[in-house]
Amino acid sequence: MIAVVQVMLVTRALSLDVTLAPVVVGLVTFAVYLGDRIADADTDAETTPDRAAFIQRHERTLNHVVSLSYGVAVALSVLGGPLALVLTLLPGVFWVLYASDWLPSLTAQFRRLKDVLLVNSLVVAFVWAVTLTALPLTFAGAPVTPAAVVVFAYYLLGIFVNVEIPNVRDTAGDRAIGVETLPVVLGVTRTRRVLYGIDIVTALMLVGAALWGLLAPLFVAALLVGLAFSVCVTSLVGRTAHGDALTLAAESEYVVVAAVLALVIL
């Protein structure tokens, strides 16, 4: 649902027609993340035992759900043309490279992208930022504009932060299985400072976009409220035992933005 909200924000920011893009992205997001949970059920047993147990108990059924969800998304994407189809397949292709053991099984020179410092978070952020921004553009038949580039950068930076926040919760488990994340390498305090820095850069970029007329000031104001919410969430990293709630709160930044916009419009 958060992915659907993210696409609707792109549609609003770039004044695009409402299309099937939110539905397609929602289905793809569900399929990819559920597939990731299935693939990592064994290693997640230490950090999220209840979820891992549920996944392992219903693995066969959930695999069918993943296939059905992605299949429907691909079928709908065909209505948007060849590029929409490619963009819909993109998260799945990168997930195979990111989370599966396919590349390491070919040669010992390769590691899962998920295990490599910065590459893991940057791959996730880049792929989703491209999908969230480009798919609604493609469905609407709209060109890539400077405003679209700003929205892409906003999602790239924001998703990177949101990926690293749950990594703090998973530090012990990631260290045990050899996954390199910012909290594993830098520690929690330094990771929190890095995330603060990214939020500051994001805020400066958004203010610049408003001043240069790339995005509507009202829309930027809503994004900045969401960013302030993100900073509050980041301030709790490593300072609360409620890691799952913190992860959900971080992702909810975009719901906050949508709520602010809805209040202003109404």
155-177: burial string, b at 16+ Cβ within 10 Å, e else: bbbbbbbbbbbbbbbbbebbeee
pLDDT, tens digit (0-9, with 9 covering 90-100), for 5-25: 999 999 999 999 999 999 999
Show the domain range for 115. 2-265
Read off the pLDDT of each residue in 225-250 and give the average, rounded to a whole number: 86
**pTM summary value:** 0.86
pLDDT at residue 135, as a whole number: 96
Residues 32-87 pLDDT 10s: 989 888 877 776 666 677 888 888 898 899 999 999 999 999 999 999 999 999 99
Q: Rounded CA gap, 138 and 216, in Å?
A: 22
**Angle in degrees, CA 100, 101, 103, rounded to 5:** 105
Tens of pLDDT, residues 115-142:
565 677 788 899 999 999 999 999 999 9
Total tally of structural domains belonging to the chain = 1
pLDDT digits (tens, 9 = 90+) for 96-109: 776 665 555 444 44
